[in-house]
Chain A
């Protein structure tokens, strides 16, 4: 599956206080033709999203300041078409349930395989993005 089949230069926002996650996702998805922006905290990332909406947001859950849930909530409020994917090192069923209730596209536990994330992102891009019900 290639990106060109789906959309030209989809916009991807990566938020993780683990610097390496941002660096690697930038490497991989940049080469795949994504327009990637990387942040290590929620505040500047939301500013960027407010300036220009993203198609996909990949965010860590537990971070100092704004956490993944808050980012999910704000991004979905700003632009319901944006798909939010949460990645976390401490996945609990309750947190996942809450995230799905807030309209997360998928919930991925760290450590994940790169292919897994690629599949989820491509799936998110493939689906029409307007019908998400408000929580």
Chain B
């Protein structure tokens, strides 16, 4: 599945040297540093674009001011020239005076133009000269009452001079408008360039962020799946994880948590196991007290009557004592084998049929005391699964005990195992002829702390589920009310472990 999941999982918390330096963006090793630098780059370009826009807008605003001032100036010129023309046409003195008055307003408008920001000031004196030339001509017109050809010459000069005043304005106005258009054009180009850069930068940073954030997370997710399937015990601290401070810290704390959980789980399994042992005390007491009784009874009879007992009988009695002590030893041996703690993650080939038979032996007396019958259907050829025999036996003991205790005398406990055809799994069926599980309880029987017994812990079946899941198997229950309950466990056969199927 993942070539990066290495062989040996790192032991959590064991001599953690800090994460080694493996470069990164401008040497930033923490994800935070990388993100800050990336975002700073984007902010920088964004700011640059904004400043450019601001600057261009100010420039355009200035140009618009100039155009407005030129328009005002033009209005004054037109007004002056309208009075000039009226005077020249009709000879009305009042028109001439108005024209002369307007010349002053014209001068004021020129002065304003000079202070308009962005207006090329070197053009103003030129215009003032022309204006004063026009004013001169107008003054001459007002001063001497010229006649005939002379007047015609002056009138012509005035017309030309006035025309120049208008022409200058039109030329300036046109140029300014061109400048505005050019500025807008430049600004548009600049914005497009910045946009392209930001898009490119965004794409690059997104790709890098995926590398920095998503890929380690994906790696951790896959490792977690591996842990769930029992292939790993910790998330490996590979080079990708060591590449970032946060990734290293996250994996390190996850591994510590896993370690703590494993300890808790072992404790839980052990306590559930001890609870199961508590339930078989009747059988154990019976099974030890009986051989003890046989031994003490036989010994007492020997002691009391030794000289009168025939030699053959003595031998038989001594043999009885030995056989009975073997029997008691066997019970203690089974009990110890069952309660022994083995590291929960250790796996070995387990002969399933033998384990089921051993479990039946362990529960022999419970079966006898409950006065139920045992029907075993196990195949001739041994079924081998990969697992922890101790934990698997715990599952079988728990389920069989539940079944035995659920039945009235005369019930039948059936235990069967078959290799399921194609899928490389073994199917174990444990069923009883008890009252069944009420529908309203249903699958809650697998919940932790759910129990219908006053003295139960409610841990038995929930631990069974977690043990079976750790072995890559499943457990199901099917119940017919007032008829039967069947637990079906599927476990992968050894050699068909789904290591390749991740």
Interface residue? A101 (CB, 8 A): no
- Could you tell me the distance between the alpha carbons of A24 and B293 in the complex, rounded to whole angstroms? 11
Q: Which of B287, B293, B368 is close to A111, meaning CB atoms less than 8 Å apart?
A: B293
Which residues of the other chain, A, contact B371 by a CB distance below 8 angstroms? 64-65, 67
Q: Which residue of chain B is the closest to A18 with respect to CB atoms?
A: B290
B300 and A90 contact, CB distance less than 8 A: no
Which residues of the other chain, B, contact A8 by a CB distance below 8 angstroms? none
B311 to chain A, nearest CB (A): 15
Tell me how many residue pairs across A and B have CB atoms closer than 8 Å: 65
Interface residue? B297 (CB, 8 A): yes
- Could you tell me the distance between the alpha carbons of A25 and B308 in the complex, rounded to whole angstroms? 16
Contacts A18-B293, A20-B324, A110-B292 given; does A28 touch B286 at CB 8 Å:
no
B285 and A90 contact, CB distance less than 8 A: yes
B368 and A64 contact, CB distance less than 8 A: yes
B409 to chain A, nearest CB (A): 8
Contacts A18-B290, A20-B320, A109-B289 given; does A90 touch B297 at CB 8 Å:
no
- Could you tell me the distance between the alpha carbons of A74 and B246 in the complex, rounded to whole angstroms? 79
The residues in A between 15 and 54 inclusive whose CB is less than 8 angstroms from any CB of B are: 18, 20-21, 23-25, 27-28, 31
Q: Which of A67, A87, A113 is close to B296, meaning CB atoms less than 8 Å apart?
A: A113
Interface residue? A62 (CB, 8 A): yes
Q: Which of A21, A89, A112 is close to B286, meaning CB atoms less than 8 Å apart?
A: A89
Interface residue? A1 (CB, 8 A): no
Interface residue? A114 (CB, 8 A): yes
A111 and B282 contact, CB distance less than 8 A: no
Q: Which residue of chain B is the closest to A23 with respect to CB atoms?
A: B320
Q: Which of A21, A31, A65, A109 is close to B297, meaning CB atoms less than 8 Å apart?
A: A21
Contacts A21-B294, A31-B305, A62-B368 given; does A111 touch B324 at CB 8 Å:
no
- Could you tell me the distance between the alpha carbons of A67 and B294 in the complex, rounded to whole angstroms? 20
Contacts A62-B369, A89-B289 given; does A20 touch B282 at CB 8 Å:
no
- Could you tell me the distance between the alpha carbons of A105 and B286 in the complex, rounded to whole angstroms? 22
- Could you tell me the distance between the alpha carbons of A88 and B286 in the complex, rounded to whole angstroms? 8
B301 and A114 contact, CB distance less than 8 A: yes
Contacts A64-B368, A89-B289, A90-B369 given; does A18 touch B282 at CB 8 Å:
no
Which residues of the other chain, A, contact B292 by a CB distance below 8 angstroms? 110-111
A110 and B301 contact, CB distance less than 8 A: no
A90 and B320 contact, CB distance less than 8 A: no
Interface size on B, residues (CB 8 A): 24
A107 to chain B, nearest CB (A): 14
Interface residue? B304 (CB, 8 A): yes
Interface residue? B298 (CB, 8 A): yes
- Could you tell me the distance between the alpha carbons of A109 and B324 in the complex, rounded to whole angstroms? 18
- Could you tell me the distance between the alpha carbons of A54 and B371 in the complex, rounded to whole angstroms? 27
- Could you tell me the distance between the alpha carbons of A112 and B296 in the complex, rounded to whole angstroms? 8
A90 and B301 contact, CB distance less than 8 A: no
- Could you tell me the distance between the alpha carbons of A87 and B286 in the complex, rounded to whole angstroms? 11
The residues in B between 407 and 435 inclusive whose CB is less than 8 angstroms from any CB of A are: none
- Could you tell me the distance between the alpha carbons of A27 and B294 in the complex, rounded to whole angstroms? 13
Which of B289, B295, B297, B320 gathers the greatest number of chain A CB atoms within 10 Å? B297
B369 and A111 contact, CB distance less than 8 A: no
Which residues of the other chain, B, contact A25 by a CB distance below 8 angstroms? 297
Q: Which residue of chain A is the closest to B321 with respect to CB atoms?
A: A20
A89 and B293 contact, CB distance less than 8 A: yes
Q: Which residue of chain A is the closest to B297 with respect to CB atoms?
A: A24
Q: Which residue of chain B is the closest to A89 with respect to CB atoms?
A: B289
B369 and A21 contact, CB distance less than 8 A: no
Q: Which of A21, A27, A64, A65 is close to B293, meaning CB atoms less than 8 Å apart?
A: A21
Which residues of the other chain, A, contact B282 by a CB distance below 8 angstroms? 90
Which residues of the other chain, B, contact A18 by a CB distance below 8 angstroms? 290, 293-294
B289 and A114 contact, CB distance less than 8 A: no
A20 and B298 contact, CB distance less than 8 A: yes
- Could you tell me the distance between the alpha carbons of A21 and B298 in the complex, rounded to whole angstroms? 8
A28 and B293 contact, CB distance less than 8 A: no
B289 and A111 contact, CB distance less than 8 A: yes
- Could you tell me the distance between the alpha carbons of A65 and B296 in the complex, rounded to whole angstroms? 27
- Could you tell me the distance between the alpha carbons of A27 and B301 in the complex, rounded to whole angstroms? 8
Interface contacts beyond A20-B298, A89-B288: sample of 4 additional A-B pairs, CB < 8 Å, sorted by A: A20-B294, A87-B293, A110-B293, A111-B296
Closest 8 CB pairs of A and B: A89-B289, A111-B293, A110-B293, A89-B286, A20-B294, A111-B292, A114-B300, A90-B286
What are 23 inter-chain pairs, A to B, with CB distance below 8 A?
A18-B290, A18-B293, A20-B320, A21-B297, A23-B320, A24-B301, A27-B301, A28-B304, A31-B305, A62-B369, A64-B368, A64-B371, A67-B371, A89-B287, A89-B289, A89-B290, A110-B293, A111-B289, A111-B296, A111-B297, A113-B296, A114-B301, A114-B304
